[in-house]
C-alpha cells in the first residue's frame, strides 16, 4: 500500500534572539491508510514539534523549516502557499490537540465549532452544517447530540470535551488524523474509552492515525508500528511487537524498563532512566543519549548514528549491534 503521509529528513529550527534551537533534526516516517503509527519519547524529544510541523502550525518566525519534505497527496506541504494549507488543515489532515479545554473556543457552542469546518471545507449551508455537526457528535458517543450541540465547552466533562475535539477533527473525513496525547489528564477508564473510540472510527473510515504519546501501555494496545524519538531525532522504528520484544536501541530499552508492569505478579520494580533529556540549547555531541546510556561506547560521544535497518522492518540509530 502507498503512504498517505510521508516525511523525509525533516529539519526544523527556531531562531531566537540569543540562540537557535533544533527540536526536529532529521525525522523520517510514513503511515498508510488504516495504520496507526505511534510516536513515543520523553517530553522534549520532538514528538509534538514534528506533529505541528506536518500542518505547518509553528509560528514563522521564529520557526524555519530548513530541510526535508512532507508529502501528502503527491504534494510537498512545505512548499504550498498558506491558502492551500488552509484547505488541507482539518480537511485532508486533522489534529486532536493535547488539552481540549484550551483548544476549544469557550465562546462558541460545540455544534458551531464543528459546523465551522464543514462550512469552510465542504461549502455546506448553515442548516446542513448543523445537521452534520449533530451527526458527528452522535458518532463519537455524545448522548442527546441535538441538545448538546448547542452547549458550550465548560458544560462538558474532560472526556466529553475530548470526544468533541475528535468530532471536530473527523467531521470532514480526513485521510490522516494526528492525535497528540489524546488521553492526557483523563482517568484510566476514560482513556480506554477514547482509544476504543478512535480505533472504531479508524476501522469505519479507513484513516491513518499518527498517535503522539508517552504512554507505552496505549502503544502496546493500539499501535501497528512505533517510532521512538530522542533529542529531536528518530532512534528506533519497527512493528510494535518487535519494539517490545527485541529493542535495538538502549533508549528504547530504558523506556520499556521504566514502564509499570501489570503482567508480573506483585508488580516489578521501576527502573527509571538516570539523568535528564538533553538541553536543546546545548545538545551533547554524538549520540544525544550517550550521557545517560549504560552501554555507551567511547565513540558514542562523537558519532551521530544514522537510523539504519537492522532486521526486516526494524531500524535503529545505535552503534551497538543486535537486540538488547
Q: Each residue of 37-76: pLDDT tens digit?
A: 999 999 899 999 999 999 999 998 999 999 999 999 999 9
What whole-number distance in Å separates Cα of residue 109 and Cα of residue 102? 14
For residue 114, the model assigns a pLDDT of: 96
Q: What is the mean pLDDT of the chain?
A: 92
For residue 81, the model assigns a pLDDT of: 96
How many other C-beta atoms are found inside a 10 Å radius of the C-beta of residue 212?
A: 23
Q: Which residues contact 102 (CB under 8 A, 6 or more apart)?
A: none
Going from N- to C-terminal start, the domains of the chain cover 3-92+175-316, 100-173
What whole-number distance in Å separates Cα of residue 10 and Cα of residue 233? 10
What whole-number distance in Å separates Cα of residue 177 and Cα of residue 208? 6
Nearest to 222 by CA among 281, 264, 177: 177
For residue 47, the model assigns a pLDDT of: 95
User: CB–CB of 5/176 below 8 Å?
Assistant: yes
For residue 225, the model assigns a pLDDT of: 97
Nearest to 10 by CA among 53, 68, 77: 68
* Confidence at 158, pLDDT banded by 50, 70, 90: confident
Q: Each residue of 124-135: pLDDT tens digit?
A: 999 999 999 999
Q: Which three cell numbers stand for residue 99?
A: 488539552
Question: What is the secondary structure of 235-260 as a DSSP string?
Answer: EEEEEHHHHHHS--SHHHHHHHHTS-
Q: Each residue of 205-238: pLDDT tens digit?
A: 999 999 999 888 889 999 999 999 999 999 999 9
**Helix ranges restricted to H, the chain:** 47-54, 82-88, 100-103, 110-122, 126-139, 145-148, 158-170, 188-205, 216-222, 240-245, 250-257
Q: Each residue of 255-295: pLDDT tens digit?
A: 998 877 666 666 667 788 999 999 988 999 999 999 999 99
| Tally of residues, the chain | 324
Q: Does domain 3-92+175-316 have CATH number 3.40.50.970?
A: no
- For the residues 91-113, what does the mean pLDDT come to? 91
> What are the backbone angles phi and psi of residue 151, rounded to the nearest 5°?
-95, 170
User: CB–CB of 236/38 below 8 Å?
Assistant: no
DSSP letter at 89?
B
For residue 262, the model assigns a pLDDT of: 62
DSSP letter at 272?
P
Does residue 189 have a pLDDT over 90?
no
Does residue 185 have a pLDDT over 90?
no
**How many Cα atoms occupy the beta-carbon half-sphere of 81 within 13 Å?**
2
* Confidence at 2, pLDDT banded by 50, 70, 90: confident
Amino acid at each position: 500500500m502507498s503512504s498517505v503521509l510521508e516525511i523525509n529528513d525533516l529539519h526544523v529550527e527556531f531562531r531566537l534572539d540569543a540562540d537557535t534551537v533544533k527540536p526536529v533534526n532529521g525525522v523520517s516516517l510514513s503511515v498508510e491508510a488504516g495504520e496507526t503509527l505511534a510516536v513515543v519519547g520523553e517530553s522534549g524529544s520532538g514528538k509534538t514539534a514534528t506533529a505541528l510541523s506536518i500542518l505547518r502550525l509553528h509560528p514563522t518566525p521564529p520557526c524555519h523549516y530548513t530541510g526535508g519534505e512532507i508529502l501528502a497527496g503527491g504534494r510537498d506541504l512545505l512548499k504550498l502557499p498558506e491558502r492551500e494549507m488552509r484547505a488541507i488543515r482539518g480537511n485532508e489532515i486533522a489534529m486532536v490537540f493535547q488539552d481540549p479545554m484550551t483548544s476549544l473556543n469557550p465562546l462558541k457552542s460545540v455544534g458551531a465549532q464543528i459546523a465551522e469546518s464543514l462550512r469552510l471545507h465542504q461549502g455546506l449551508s448553515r442548516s446542513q452544517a448543523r445537521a452534520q455537526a449533530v451527526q458527528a457528535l452522535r458518532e463519537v458517543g455524545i448522548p442527546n447530540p441535538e441538545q448538546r450541540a448547542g452547549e458550550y465547552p465548560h458544560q462538558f466533562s474532560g472526556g466529553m470535551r475530548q470526544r468533541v475535539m475528535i468530532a471536530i477533527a473527523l467531521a470532514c473525513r480526513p485521510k490522516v488524523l494526528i492525535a497528540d496525547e489524546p488521553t492526557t489528564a483523563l482517568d484510566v477508564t476514560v482513556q480506554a474509552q477514547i482509544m476504543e473510540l478512535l480505533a472504531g472510527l479508524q476501522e469505519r473510515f479507513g484513516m491513518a492515525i499518527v498517535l503522539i504519546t508517552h504512554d507505552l501501555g496505549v502503544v502496546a494496545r493500539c499501535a501497528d508500528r512505533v517510532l521512538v524519538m530522542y533529542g529531536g531525532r528518530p532512534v528506533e522504528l519497527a512493528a510494535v511487537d518487535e519494539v517490545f520484544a527485541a529493542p535495538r536501541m538502549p533508549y528504547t530499552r530504558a523506556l520499556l524498563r521504566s514502564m509499570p508492569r501489570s503482567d508480573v505478579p506483585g508488580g516489578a520494580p521501576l527502573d527509571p532512566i538516570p539523568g535528564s533529556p538533553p538541553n536543546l540549547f546545548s545538545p551533547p555531541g554524538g549520540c544525544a543519549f550517550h550521557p545517560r546510556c549504560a552501554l555507551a561506547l567511547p565513540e558514542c560521544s562523537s558519532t551521530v548514528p544514522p537510523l539504519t535497518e537492522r532486521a526486516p522492518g526494524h531500524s535503529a540509530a545505535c552503534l551497538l549491534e543486535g537486540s538488547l
